[in-house]
Amino acid sequence: DTAVSQTPKYLVTQMGNDKSIKCEQNLGHDTMYWYKQDSKKFLKIMFSYNNKELIINETVPNRFSPKSPDKAHLNLHINSLELGDSAVYFCASSLLSTGELFFGEGSRLTVL
Amino acid sequence: DQQVKQNSPSLSVQEGRISILNCDYTNSMFDYFLWYKKYPAEGPTFLISISSIKDKNEDGRFTVFLNKSAKHLSLHIVPSQPGDSAVYFCAARDAGNNRKLIWGLGTSLAVNP
């Protein structure tokens, strides 16, 4: 039973396309996150939602739009994909009070 | 400007010996520190943490030490095992910024049999 699951695991697409990555957690956590790990392996937070409310919104292009339909789900939609969007995107969840994040396996996005 | 620095990108240790991974930080508003372990093609996994009010936390073979005056923490693994070979990330929680975690770049540990 996967605690934090994200789909798809691999995504290859052309520049200019729109794509979504979905994330679900079954840990009962109140906070969910999207991280981007770039080619230099740096983990950088993009968004964080606490009880469906956006609490962290880093300097990310408007082409990236998170959507949290409920506390257990946080999806990431990306419009007009660019080459520089190629990276591994990690979803994570936690209880805001503890700060211990549980990560999904990552979704490797390749933009051609 | 990196607020959390792991200055050693890689470390190689013999099985059975001690592994020491270091992490330095600059922000005095950090109130909680965490270590994560990451295998290839997997997400990071929480390993151990320490509150800023403590100087040591131990969990089995893993011990984290915090030196607040030096703004330095370290993760000790003893004895090291080949299965410990992974990338280790240090992260610090910013109490003044929505409890956001700030991450280091990671140290790749190789434990040789």
One pLDDT digit (tens) per residue for chain A, 112 residues: 679 999 999 999 999 999 999 999 999 999 999 999 987 777 888 999 888 888 888 878 899 999 999 999 999 999 999 999 999 999 999 988 777 899 999 999 999 9
Closest-approach residue (CA) in chain A for B48: A100
Contacts of B105 in chain A (CB under 8 A): 40-42
CB–CB of A41 and B41 under 8 A?
A: no
Give how far Cα A70 sits from Cα of A24, A33, B21, B95, Å. 10, 13, 38, 26
Please give the DSSP secondary-structure letter assigned to residue B43: -
CB–CB of B41 and A105 under 8 A?
A: yes
CB–CB of A96 and B89 under 8 A?
A: no
